[in-house]
Structure 1
Amino acid sequence: MKDLFGKAILDYQLGNYTEDIKTETSISEEDDLPLPYLFRDYDEMPSLEKKALDITSGSVLDIGCGAGSHSLYLQNTRGLEVTAVDISPNAIEACKLRGVKNAISLDVMTMTSNNKYDTLLLLMNGAGMCGRLEKLTAFLEKLKTLIAPGGQILLDSSDIIYMFEDDEEDGGVWIPADKSYYGEVDYIVKYKGEEEPAFDWMYIDYDTLKKAADYNGFKCTCILEGEHYDYLAQLSL
């Protein structure tokens, strides 16, 4: 991996912002992801993220923290103890430069269960990092080992079934045959003339998440629905 996403974040933090990240998926055309958006303040965040941060409590594990905007708010404004983790070393370096006190570069699937957290935070479609629906059980089982008694997982995602809607009046949908679940996509990141190899990503609808959560011993609650097929869910044991 070239860590282009993290490189872009670090460039922005170091004052080397000259262009935005370009993203593309197997079901969508190339689009710009503005770097300033990743550095947004609480007031600039969408309602789902604000709600998640409002109900976050206790010790926090911010999984896939990116530029660390959620961690900084929880640390500096809410006064919570936050551990920010991301697979990107460059993103973690940016987090440290921004003032995140405890930022670590690692894959959450490799974390040991020595530490338990009251809130596991997976925002900006954090559930998608497991990549494929068949890996969701293992992902949830890993998260289970990191939750303190009485703790919670807060995650948001989207139901992208609307992207397969038929233009005809019968309201049908077209589902690609090369994926076991319509929310699975191949994700590509481009930055400053370089391109990351495509990696697995997933958008999961709430009903499918709830079924998986129930199967793995979680109680799943929809906390808030967004304006465009998105939602915030809370999982607890």
Structure 2
Amino acid sequence: MEKDILGTALLDFHNGNYAEDIITYSSLDEKDTLPLPYLFRAYAQMPELEKKALALCKGTVLDIGCGAGSHALYLQEQGFDVTCLDQSKGAIAVCKARGIKNLHEGSLLEADLGTFDTLLLLMNGIGIAGQLKHIDLVFNRLKSLLNQNGQILLDSSDIMYMFELDDDGGYWIPEDTPYYGEVRFTMEYKKQKSNEFSWLYLDFNTLQRAADFNGLSCELLFEGNHYEYLARLSLKG
């Protein structure tokens, strides 16, 4: 993203200049709000899915797309060796200001990171793939970051419910959509808009098939009340 909308907003909040939230616009014709206080939530305010994921972390941890660093900060306080990764300069600056020790500014595909026991992708972190056709590239990159017996913990959502029902009782999905979980977003903050970017929501069956194709086992760990789930991926054999 050329404009660091997220990082600018996070820095404002951390520095006591909170006056508004981030507005998101999506290709699903939805306008929504991303409340900045939620991105700084303490462990007690985290949903059950996130608490479950944090409890399952082991060894060295890479928090991919760390944002304001709330998950990494909790893990660090519990004694974990955790590294934050985000391509937002502002997000990394906030993580540093909050006391997180190990930081890396850059993209998942390009950063020189080493290997880890746990790769953490929360808040639909697998969405960074953007489109389903890129999932093999992302999975192969994640595999290269895993130690033997390591794990990938990720959550996503099946967003089929967001599409309208047709006369036959099925869901109406536009014909030009390769996969219904591919969504295009724009973010706005203080009258500045980001460039449009793609984000991927994966239903569990699609995630499982893609993982299997890429030599990863896939285990469903938790299902929420609103189509969200937590999964664990690990190297086969």
TM-score norm. by structure 2 comes to: 0.96
Residue 189 of structure 1 is aligned with which of 179, 187, 190? 187
Q: What is the rounded CA distance, in whole Å, between the counterparts of 1:9 and 1:17 in structure 2?
A: 9
Q: What is the aligned partner in structure 2 of residue 218 from structure 1?
A: 216
> Residue 132 of structure 1 aligns with which residue?
131
Deviations 1:24-53 (A, max 9, x none): 110042111110000001110111111000
The residue number in structure 1 matching 2:96 is: 96
Letter in 2 for 1:156: D
Residues 162-186 of structure 1: CA distance to partner in whole angstroms, max 9, x if unpaired? Answer: 1114165x42101122221000011
Letter in 1 for 2:150: G
The C-alpha deviation readout for 1:55-104, integer Å capped at 9, x for no partner, is: 0010000000000000000001x210001000100000000001111111
Cα distance in structure 2, aligned partners of 1:26 and 1:89: 26
- How big is the alpha-carbon RMSD for the aligned residues of Structure 1 and Structure 2? 1.0
Distance (Å, rounded) in 2 between the aligned partners of 1:127 and 1:106: 16
2:201 corresponds to which residue? 203
1:24 corresponds to: 25
Write the mapping of 1:30-179 to structure 2, written as runs, cut at 5 A. 30-76=31-77, 78-112=78-112, 115-166=114-165, 170-179=168-177
**Does the CA contact (< 8 Å) of 1:165 and 1:171 recur in 2?**
no
Once residues 135 and 229 of structure 1 are traced to their aligned partners in structure 2, the CA distance between those partners, rounded to angstroms, is 23
Aligned pairs, how many? 234
In the alignment, the residues of structure 1 paired with residue 87 and residue 176 of structure 2 have an alpha-carbon distance, to the nearest angstrom, of 28
- Structure 2 unaligned blocks of 5 or more: none
CA distance in 1 between partners of 2:158 and 2:185 (Å): 17
Cα deviation, residue 6, structure 1: 1.1
* Counterparts of 1:48 and 1:201, CA distance in 2: 20
TM-score, length-normalised on structure 1? 0.96
For the residues of structure 1 that align with 2:84 and 2:164, how far apart are their CA atoms? 38
- 2: CA distance between counterparts of 1:17 and 1:167? 43
Percent of pairs identical after alignment? 55
